[in-house]
Amino acid sequence: MTEPPVLLCAMCDAPGKNVCSICQTIRYCGKICQTDDWNQVHKHVCKALTRDYPISERPSPSHKRAIYFPENHNKPLFTWLGFKKDGKLDEKDLPGDNEGVQDLAVFGKNDLLGRTLERPIFWAGKFKRDEEESEATSFVGASNRSLLVIDEELSIWWKGPFLAYSPTSDLDTSSLRHLVDILRRDFDCQTNDLYKKNTEGYATVTGVRANCIGDVQIVHRDDFESVDVPKEWISEPSAIQTPIMDLIGIPLIVRQVPHALQWKNRHIKPTTTPPTVGVFLGQADEYMPAESNGIIDILASSSITEQGTVIVIRKDGKPVSPAQLEIMESFCKEKAALAMTELWDRITKVDFEEHWKEAMEKNAGDEDFEGVVSPFDVYDRTPCAQSRLTSIDSGVLQIGSVGPV
């Protein structure tokens, strides 16, 4: 006999043992995930579903419950949509100013959770094609205010009114949760591509992106990644001080990276404890904020755990590699105990060189460390250009009315 499928939490991969007591349409593994979803999304639609759009109030058998995102309302709304025999929308039932609405995409999977949706979600809006660039999509309307209550970034990215629906079944609060995850992931992917495009041909330096637990476990990035960033960053102040590296003569600049929307305000139960989730974060079986990043604690010799992903570069502009940063981290971890003692200022370059030698011997045979030289033996890298790069590292990219296709 086949066992029934395990019903999962709407926020993570754990079994969803608890059902929302009000709407009865979304499940959670426990209080932490339920609170995270309530604060972000669920509170805006939960009571309205049961009060105004119960199944008993369906106008006709051809009507399905959908989610409407008005251009000028303060939150998403449920609505009834009628469908013709061929499965197409009956335009006479469209809410608000939705004449000319067209399907933009059909979502069948929540990639953030790696989960196939029980019902496909059609995403429709009003848009026009740019005559010169037929592949671009220009949305008709202003920033969508009903998305603003969830994310400012989504409100700016998606313009005009939108509809989410399924021709064969009703949408509910769990559908909205999936849709928010999908739209956030799409925003992150497209703005990341835009960032890469805007850095091409400008003067850069090579640094290391040290990813927080959210980027490692949800976005599936490596703990450390080599990145090229604007060279002008070396003349700007560091967001976080790294006193041990200053003492040995390798001053660093740490820049915070805007949080990925995909894990915004989420707590995570780590499957492992990666290097970037270190000394001050407790045990790996405890839930922790997705922006937790232990490398900041270590380099800064403090307890600043929720700084999110950071990019680390050298103040002298010389390149730094992931393997070098990993050894710098282990050196700072080793010396952190001296931070509050009179021996603090006795940490020297010689100490680091000895630590470096031991670390390289320990990692002999690891291809990530093969051919890596000491930070003291790195030469300047010739910049690829001298042009000034405009600021592109803000949390919200202003992109006009152009959105995803």
- For residue range 80-97, what is the model confidence (pLDDT) as tens digits? 999 988 888 888 878 876
Domain extents in the chain: 18-194, 203-377
**Overall average pLDDT of the 108-137 stretch:** 79
* Strand-pair category, 63-69 with 27-28: unpaired
Of 98, 268, 96, 261, nearest to 181 by C-alpha is 261
Q: How would residue 305 be classed by pLDDT, with cut points 50, 70 and 90?
A: very low
- 294: nearest Cα among 263, 313, 273, 270: 273
> pLDDT digit string (tens) for 246-270?
989 999 999 988 878 888 888 776 6
- The whole-number pLDDT of residue 384 equals 31
352-361 pLDDT per residue, tens? 999 999 999 9
Decide if pLDDT at 290 tops 70: no
| The token pair that represents 405 in the structure block | 């296709």
Beta-carbon contacts of 167 under 8 Å, excluding residues fewer than 6 positions away, are: 64, 83, 87, 88, 122
Confidence of residue 288 (pLDDT cuts 50, 70, 90): low
Spatial separation of the C-alpha atoms in residues 164 and 122, rounded to whole Å: 5
Q: Percent of the chain at pLDDT above 70?
A: 75
What average pLDDT does the chain have?
80
Helix, strand, coil % (nearest 5) of the chain?
30, 20, 50
Residues 6+ apart with CB under 8 A from 229: 199, 204, 205, 207, 255, 311, 313
How far apart are alpha carbons 336 and 345 in whole angstroms?
12
Residue 164 β-bridge partners:
67, 123
pLDDT at 184: 93
pLDDT class of 139 with cuts at 50, 70, 90 = confident
| Cβ atoms 215, 309 nearer than 8 A | yes
- Name beta bridge partners: 405: none
The vertex-279 CA angle with 394 and 37, nearest 5°, equals 50
Of 225, 149, 152, whose CA–CA distance to 394 is shortest?
152
CB-based contacts of 385: which residues, under 8 Å, 6+ apart? 201, 202, 203
Would you say residue 219 has pLDDT above 60? yes
Which pTM was predicted? Answer: 0.76
Distance between CA atoms of residues 328 and 331, nearest Å: 5
Helix (H) / strand (E) element for 279: namely: none
Q: What angle do CA 402, 403, 404 make, to 5 degrees?
A: 140
Torsion of CA 392, 147, 106, 29, to 10 degrees: 100
Q: Are 266 and 11 in contact (CB under 8 A)?
A: yes
Sheet containing strand 137-139, strands side by side: 127-129, 137-139, 402-403
Res. 301: pLDDT tops 80:
no
